[in-house]
Structure 1
Amino acid sequence: MVRAGLSTERLVRAGAELADEVGFEQVTVSALARRFDVKVASLYSHLKSSQDLKTRIALLALEELADRAAEALAGRAGKDALTAFADVYRDYARAHPGRYAATRHPLDAEAAAASAGGRHAQMTRAILRGYDLTEPDQTHAVRLLGSVFHGYVSLELAGGFSHSTPDSQESWTRVLDALDALLRNWPTP
């Protein structure tokens, strides 16, 4: 019998909150059961395993992030779009570190096809249209942006910039300025 009030959606949202509190790697069906004060077995009518829970949290996080990015990009182009997009990723990671970590969780082909990952790629390519890049340079630029955003945010979340000057916001602004300049002057092979 399914316990009243528990649903897959509620469990996944609670799992995402737990990830933000204790870290994505610490999220398990057992930890979630403790949060709801239920037996682990009672959650298996909603979730297959801890891996299934993590995949569902990843899908939720990718969707949340894509929704925020789409809203931030509306009506923007060029450097303004680049900055808005980058800031959404950074702000989301800072507000939801466990969920952000979940966005890097490996997805099988079926889950990847159902994820918002395609929306992220489309938005990145939409930004790059403002820089007049064609293939294969556009793909190279998508990879560059993803690497820079994720690398910077990961180092910042790990405290890598907390004890140095200038402050990380100033560096972030300079990084985005440099990316804009690079994209406007993309090197030819």
Structure 2
Amino acid sequence: MTRRTLTPALVIDVAAALADRDGFDAIVVSAVAEKLGVRSASLYGHVRDRQAILAGVQKLAMNELADTIGAAIAGRSRAEALFAMGEAQRRYARERPGCWESLQRRAEVGVPQSDESSRVATLALAVLRGYGLADHDAVHAVRVAGAAIGGFIGLERTGAFDHRDHDVEESWRRTIDMLDGAFASWGAAA
């Protein structure tokens, strides 16, 4: 087997894959080193510590999520864009469960100020801009949308909806419709 050249990006990619397989808490230096076939000490020439790896996974996840959201919302506005943004997040949570989980945690040092974080925030603001919200209201609207969409995804992922016969997709559509109505009236009030 050919040994791969260690780089910070490779360490983060392997950590992200580990998180997707075993959960975000599975990211520990020794596990990442084992997946790479090296000793833990070898990683420290490429990443500062576990927190740097966790931050790297969060940034990677934000970048991937921004790509997914950007492609989904292109050419859409208001309810269509809101639905597309939510669907993009649901899809990402299914496809990259450990990376999604990383975004549901407190951001590591430097992540909130990162370009990756800015990309996601800019896309969310772009979706909500279609509602005519004042700038000072847009931040609150992004938080409301994030809480509703993230909360729904979180409950769905833990199986909280599995014990009812009611259609989860109908609940999802109603959640987006509720947000759309709230943002439309919020924007009209502005």
Verify same fold: TM over 0.5.
yes
Q: Summarize the alignment of residues 11-160 of structure 1 with structure 2, pairs less than 5 Å apart.
A: 11-103=11-103, 104-108=105-109, 110-160=110-160
Contact preservation (8 Å) 1:125, 1:138: yes
Describe the SS at the equivalent of 1:84: helix
Contact preservation (8 Å) 1:58, 1:105: no
Sort the Cα spacing of 1:4 and 1:117 in 2 relative to 1 into closer, same or farther, 3 A: closer
Describe the SS at the equivalent of 2:153: helix
Deviation at 1:165, TM superposition (A): 2.3
CA distance in 1, matches of 2:165, 2:127: 31
CA distance in 1, matches of 2:50, 2:115: 18
Name the stretch that deviates more: 134-143 or 72-81: 134-143
CA distance in 1, matches of 2:49, 2:12: 12
Contact preservation (8 Å) 1:155, 1:161: yes
CA distance in 2, matches of 1:128, 1:4: 43
| TM-score in terms of structure 1 length | 0.90
Deviation at 1:188, TM superposition (A): 4.9
CA distance in 1, matches of 2:89, 2:147: 12
CA distance in 2, matches of 1:111, 1:179: 27
1:184 is aligned to 184
CA distance in 1, matches of 2:14, 2:106: 18
2:170 is aligned to 170
Contact preservation (8 Å) 1:33, 1:39: yes
> C-alpha deviations, 1:114-138, integer Å up to 9, x for none?
2421122221221122111114322
Contact preservation (8 Å) 2:29, 2:40: yes
Task: Count the aligned residue pairs.
Answer: 186
CA distance in 2, matches of 1:5, 1:140: 44
Describe the SS at the equivalent of 2:55: helix
Q: Pairwise CA RMSD of aligned residues?
A: 1.8
Structure 1 residues not aligned, in runs of 5+: none
Name the stretch that deviates more: 21-30 or 163-172: 163-172
| TM-score in terms of structure 2 length | 0.90
Name the stretch that deviates more: 129-138 or 139-148: 129-138
**Amino acid in structure 2 at the alignment position of 1:177:** D
